[in-house]
Structure 1
Amino acid sequence: MSKTADEYKQEGNTAFVAKDYQKAIDAFTKAIEVSETPNHVLYSNRSAAYTSSKQYEQALSDADECIKINPSWAKGYTRKGAALQGLHKYEEAEQCYNETLKIDPNNAIAKDSLAQIVSAQQSASRGFPGGFPGDMGLGELFKDPNLMEKLRRDPKVAELMNDQDFVAKINSYGNNPQALTNDMMTDPRIMQLFGALLGLNQPEEAASASSQPDSKNEEEPKREEPKKEAEPEAMEVDEEEQEQDTARIEADKAKAEGNKAYKARQFDEAISHYNQAWETFKDITYLNNRSAAEYEKGDYETCIKTLTEAVENARELRTDYKIVAKSFARMGNAYAKLDDLKKAIEYYQKSLTEHRTPDILSKLRKAEKDLKQQEAEAYLSPEKAEEARLEGKEYFTKADWPNAVKSYTEMIKRAPDDARGYSNRAAALAKLMSFPDAISDCNKAIEKDPSFIRAYLRKATCQIAVKEFAGAIETLDLARERDDGKNGNEINQLYAKASAQRFQPAEGNETPEETYARAMKDPEVAKIMQDPVMVSILQQAQNDPAALQEHMKNPEVFRKIQTLIAAGIIRTGTR
């Protein structure tokens, strides 16, 4: 089983305390690799390990990453200052330590590190000929041809002069004083060398005077030795972090026990373990887990309270937005279980604001659809529907068509399965010349009640009005099939009207050719004239008119012949 980021982190801390810095670096690297989200503490700890092993460039890179993740964390700037100090970039290091103190004015490490830098600079500038190392005047000191001989006779540095590499380094300073500036910060022998140089450069008269008997009672002023610059201190993991690591490990153990109980559907036990985890270490994942157990237990209101606590703590704990999204999503689920769809929609939307996922988007759409249906069902009332119908009838009688439409619309909302509402609204819409909408309402009325003949008649009337004669005839045929005989006259009248207007010529007189061309524009006529059976019957009728009468005994043939007669394709003697 692979280790968690916290377990690798604990290994790194242990190795760091034991001063096994490479092992600490390796452990922190693994922790960073397996961490679900970028963790500033892990980069901070690895930066400290790099600094302690004098790998300052890597330490600086990790410190920058730490600051990027959490720019308000004072320790990140301390880590960066230590790395810069190790790289001898003292001005930048000072800026970082000062940045630390802006966030944490009592930070002891930043104060001590600033004091180290200032002390080293002051010590170096006091008593150094030519000023602070790096000045050209100091370079002249190393051009003295007798310098090496003087140093070999000085007991303070005589032993150092046996190191040929060190001698070569000293000889190079005459031409490259800047190298001296760099070396003095890293090589303690350079500071020892300066002590000797300061003694060698005393004026001769001062040296003579110091050997006279009358000066024995005078106390010679003590020369202040330049202080060796301190290395950046090992940036140890503080006790508070170690305590947090221990607390998280204990909390994760409790969470693991809670997960086992959850999978076994022992929800009360799981809740107890998740509570223990939350009380041990503040991470809202433990609250989310507890809410999941409460949800499965059916305690939706408690689940919502737990998730509210999680969200309230999330910002302060800098919780990942995806985890916050899960909190909001489960709140939406809980409200949906409580049949509070408005609240469910609200929290699904909040979840999607934090992190958009297809699953929650689908739940939002379903909740919105269910709420719409729920509101429509809550609006149903047969009594209110009847009131709206009578109100619409009154408006219709007064020829107030717009208000009639409104009243019948209200009737439909109150009783959507009553075909009369759609049929009555179609009648009012037809008066307003809104025939397509009227036809649509008639179709809905027929769908609700296929035996409602009034809806067929109103539909056919609207179809005739928009010159859909074939459609009107088809509608009337359907009405005739379903009629019980009470509406036969009205059906026949509309049928005759549709048939008469269907093929009515634009002008009074037409030639047979013009009649044929106009009739063939009608889809039904064109279809009949392309039917091989009808073509054969018509050809036979030209030679034997009596045969046509025989064929017309077939109802389908009769209907087609009547259509052709109405279209003028077949002319009768009375036409």
Structure 2
Amino acid sequence: MSNAQAEEFKALGNAALQSGKLTEAIEHYTKAINADGTNHVYYSNRSAAYLKKGDANNALEEANSTIAIDPNFAKGYSRKGAALHALKRYNDAVTAFEEGLAKFPGDASLKKGLDDVKRDRDGPPPSSRLPGGLGNLFGDNLIQQIMLNPKTRPYLSDAEFMAKIRRLQTNPNSLTELIGDPRIMEVLGLSLGMSGAGQSTDDEGANYDDYDTKRETTAAKPTNGETHAAQKEKPAPMEEEKTEEEEEDLSELTPEERKKKQDQKEAAKVKERGNELYKNKQFDEAISAYDEAIHLDPTNMTFHNNKAAVYFTTKQYDKCISACREAVEVGKANRAPFEERAKALVRCAKAYQKQGDLGKAIECCQEAQLEFYDKATERMMKNWELEKKKADAAAYLDDEKAEEAKQRGNEAFRNKEWGEAVREYEEAVKRAPNNAPIRNNLAAALCKIMDFNGAKMHIEKAVEIDPKYVKAWARKGDIEVLTKENHKAVESYKRGLDIEPNNTACKDGLRKVTSLINYGNSAMTEEEKMERARHGMADPEIQAILQDPVIQQILRDFNENPQAANQAMMDPIIRGKIEKLIASGVVQTA
């Protein structure tokens, strides 16, 4: 993809973010990063989307990526500080903001962020605390409590709910305004240490919309302390009280709601039985148990995902893929957590990989990353992409088809259709990358369209594949003459003559380049000579020769002690190095 396409994806992400479509925004920013992973702005924007979505961990990772790419981007430090603030890592957040302010002292966003995090770290003023010491109800551990409770865990996927929680954490007094939301009351119960916010734990499967009614019926029940005391003194009566409480709660529901709730509870029990069967390697029985759970509660994607795990373990990969896909559909239809949907897609990807279909496996990983970004999944996907690239290249190898493409290239070359010749030779190289003559032909065609760097790359590969391929050495010398690397051309022609002393192409090439070196200087202007010398100096080999103390002394001797210089030139190694300097134009003769 091009940078223009990356910018298009960024613009789409910005529009989605402004509209509150956070998952869509993250998807677009991810595509922008895939198109151009060097642009720090895309990571910064994705960090903002993750934070707005309530995913502070991924927001922090993206902020760190932003700073790593461009340490001089002020907003990167704002993103990092905001993510750390959301994670309640106050001191780390202060450090991030201060690090940014050290580089950008006047940045208003960094100043405000620092003030906000210091205010929250040091606690709100006494006037903003709830009476009765309730100011810490919505403290650091609240999100963890919500996540650990099966009933409240799905609330974390609701952006509106998370906004209310953040508001409560910033200003506990806002509880009076938000108390009408049953979910907030339920979370208040969690924070107070009550199970289900005043309900029995058996009510976890009920819809939170029923909470207010149940709160009224449970208001007259014993407090937690009274219940625990009764349990110690009279275990049997406690069981009776629990049964009466269940019946009372269930009686308030409609028959349909009561049956649904009972089925959900029974499905959970059946699932646990399936898990035990799975652990005991009773795979067929486990599948039957999960099917029974699905029949009782078709809205829970976990049962489908567990089936997929059984199929994966027993190497029934087609069934595993089908179960994973069904799990994802059920999860989407019933607003299951994004990470659960991603988990099913990753299992699906692994099943495809086991079948040898890396293309489908990579597609599933990409889908999973859009649901819930995970570094481990990203690493796995990148490894598979490399494997697929290698596998695709290996599958493309075909000597017969390479020869056919080469012949088509030869025909195009004879007809002076240089572009077509290059395309056919490149196809032949893909089919047979270790064929030196094909690369030699491609180098010749590339010279015709003035792509000397490409030609040089392929001809060097040709002599690497077959060091005794004389025609390639001659072609290499010709290309080096065209790129004004006369000293290299001399060596290439000589290498060819070492293999085949009477090779006409190498002999003619050596004669021509020697003539250029010996007589070319007289036809050059001073500016052309300087340009040639600068070109030669760019060659690492020439640089290495000039750094040799022995060569430096000999060059001085040519002016100060010619007899010593001539004596040194009798050494064939020294002579060869000096000749290279002369051929490159770095040392000029009269």
TM-score band, normalised by shorter chain:
0.5 to 0.7
Equivalence for 1:171? none
Map of 2:425 onto structure 1: 408
- AA partner of residue 148 (structure 2): V
What residue number does 1:423 align with? 440
Q: Where do 5+ consecutive residues of structure 2 fail to align?
A: 1-142, 156-174, 188-205, 217-247
Report what 2:309 is aligned to. Answer: 292
State the superposition RMSD in angstroms.
Answer: 4.6
Which whole-Å CA distance do the structure 2 matches of 1:456 and 1:264 have between them?
68
The share of aligned pairs that are identical, in percent, is: 31
**What's the CA shift for 1:246?**
4.5
- SS where residue 343 of structure 2 aligns? helix
Q: What residue in structure 1 maps to residue 149 of structure 2?
A: 35
Q: Once the 2 structures are TM-superposed, how far is the Cα of residue 261 of structure 1 from its aligned partner?
A: 4.0
1:305 alignment counterpart = 322
Code of the aligned partner of 2:472:
A
Contact persistence 1:467–1:502 (CA under 8 A): no
Q: 2:338 corresponds to which residue?
A: 321
Alpha-carbon offset, residue 568 of structure 1: 10
| Cα distance between partner residues in 2 of 1:316 and 1:529 | 73
Q: Is the 8 A contact 1:79 1:235 kept in 2?
A: no
Equivalent runs, 1:333-352 vs 2, <5 Å: 333-352=350-369
Residue of structure 2 equivalent to 1:461: 478
For residues 578 and 176 of structure 2, the distance between their equivalents in structure 1, rounded to whole angstroms, comes to: 100
Change (3 A) 1:66 1:471: farther
Measured against aligned partners, the alpha-carbon deviations of 1:435-489 in whole angstroms (never above 9, x if no partner) come to 11211221232333333332232222112112122333344455456x24453x5
Distance 1:462 1:65, change over 3 A: same
Bigger shift: residues 328-337 or 538-547: 538-547
Gaps of 5+ in 1: 1-28, 42-55, 69-73, 85-232
Structure 1 Cα separation of the partners of residues 531 and 359 of structure 2: 62
Counterpart position of 1:88:
none
1:294 is displaced (CA, Å) by 0.6
Q: Could you tell me whether the CA contact under 8 Å between 1:37 and 1:320 is conserved in 2?
A: no
**Which residue, out of 270, 276, 279, partners 2:286?**
270
1:494 to 496, 509, 517: 509
Query: Residues 81-480 of structure 1 correspond to what in structure 2 (within 5 A)?
Result: 237-238=252-253, 243-282=259-298, 283-476=300-493, 478-479=495-496
Deviation at 1:298, TM superposition (A): 0.4
Greater fraction of residues in helix: 2
Q: How far apart, CA to CA, are the structure 2 residues paired with 1:412 and 1:521?
A: 31
Quote how far apart the aligned CAs of 1:295 are. Answer: 0.5
Bigger CA radius of gyration: 1
Checking the alignment, whether the CA contact within 8 Å between 1:429 and 1:435 is kept in structure 2 is: yes
How far off is 1:429 after superposition?
1.2
- Contact conserved, 1:388 with 1:407, CA < 8 A, in 2? yes
Matched residue SS, 2:180 = helix
Equivalent in the alignment of 1:92: none
Task: Tell me how far apart the structure 1 counterparts of residues 423 and 516 of structure 2 sit (CA, whole Å).
Answer: 33
Q: Is the 8 A contact 2:290 2:303 kept in 1?
A: yes
Q: Aligned with 2:269: secondary structure? A: helix
Q: CA deviation at 1:288?
A: 0.4
Aligned residues of 2:521 and 2:529 also touching (Cα < 8 A): no
After TM superposition, give the deviation of residue 430 of structure 1 in Å: 0.9
Tell me the amino acid that sits aligned with residue 34 of structure 1. Answer: L
* Conserved 8 A contact 1:252-1:277: yes
Using the TM superposition, give the Cα deviation of residue 424 of structure 1 relative to its aligned residue in structure 2, in angstroms. 0.5
In the TM superposition, residue 502 of structure 1 has moved relative to its aligned partner by 4.4
Change (3 A) 1:279 1:82: closer
Q: Pairwise mapping of residues 51-62 of structure 1 onto structure 2 (< 5 A)? A: 60-62=179-181
Structure with larger RCO (C-alpha < 8 A, sep 6+):
1
Q: For residue 408 of structure 1, report the CA deviation from its aligned partner.
A: 1.1
Secondary structure (helix, strand or coil) at the match of 1:323 reads helix
1:422·1:441 contact (CA, 8 Å) conserved in 2? yes
C-alpha separation in 1, matches of 2:467 and 2:444: 18
In structure 1, how many angstroms separate the alpha carbons of the residues matched to 2:419 and 2:320? Answer: 51
Are 1:519 and 1:525, in contact at CA under 8 Å, matched by a contact in 2? Answer: no
- Aligned residue for 1:399, secondary structure, equals coil
Distance in 2 between residues matched to 1:32 and 1:530, nearest whole Å? 69
Q: Secondary structure at the match of 1:319?
A: coil
Aligned amino acid, residue 348 of structure 2: M
Contact 1:439–1:459 (CA<8 Å) still a contact in 2?
yes
- Distance, in Å, in 2 between the alignment partners of 1:541 and 1:462 is 32
Q: 1:510 to 1:373 in 2, by over 3 A?
A: closer
Give the letter for the 1:38 counterpart: T
Q: How far is the alpha carbon of 1:530 from its aligned partner?
A: 6.0
**Count of matched residue positions in the alignment of Structure 1 and Structure 2:** 374
CA distance in 2, matches of 1:485, 1:337: 56
Report how far residue 428 of structure 1 moved.
Answer: 1.0
Instruction: Tell me the CA shift for residue 237 of structure 1.
Output: 4.5
Could you tell me whether the CA contact under 8 Å between 1:520 and 1:526 is conserved in 2? Answer: no
- Supply the distance in 1 between the matched residues of 2:336 and 2:352 (Cα, whole angstroms): 23
Structure 2 distance, partners of 1:478, 1:509, is 29
In the TM superposition, what is the alpha-carbon distance from 1:391 to its structure 2 partner? 1.8
Partners of 1:80 and 1:265 lie apart in 2 by: 45
CA distance in 1, matches of 2:418, 2:544: 40
Change (3 A) 1:266 1:498: farther
Alpha carbons 1:445, 1:455 under 8 Å: kept: yes
When normalised by structure 2's length, the TM-score is 0.52
TM-score, normalised with respect to structure 1: 0.53
Equivalent position SS for 2:467 = coil
Structure 1 range deviating more: 405-414 or 548-557? 548-557
1:417 alignment partner, SS class = coil
For residue 292 of structure 1, report the CA deviation from its aligned partner. Answer: 0.7
- Note the 1:514-525 alignment, pairs <5 A: 522-523=536-537
After superposition, the C-alpha distances for 1:41-63 in whole angstroms (9 at most, x for unaligned) are: 9xxxxxxxxxxxxxx97995343
SS in 2 for 1:309: helix
Q: Is the 8 A contact 1:59 1:80 kept in 2?
A: no
497-506 or 390-399: bigger deviation = 497-506
SS of equivalent to 1:298 = coil
Q: 1:529 to 1:313 in 2, by over 3 A?
A: closer
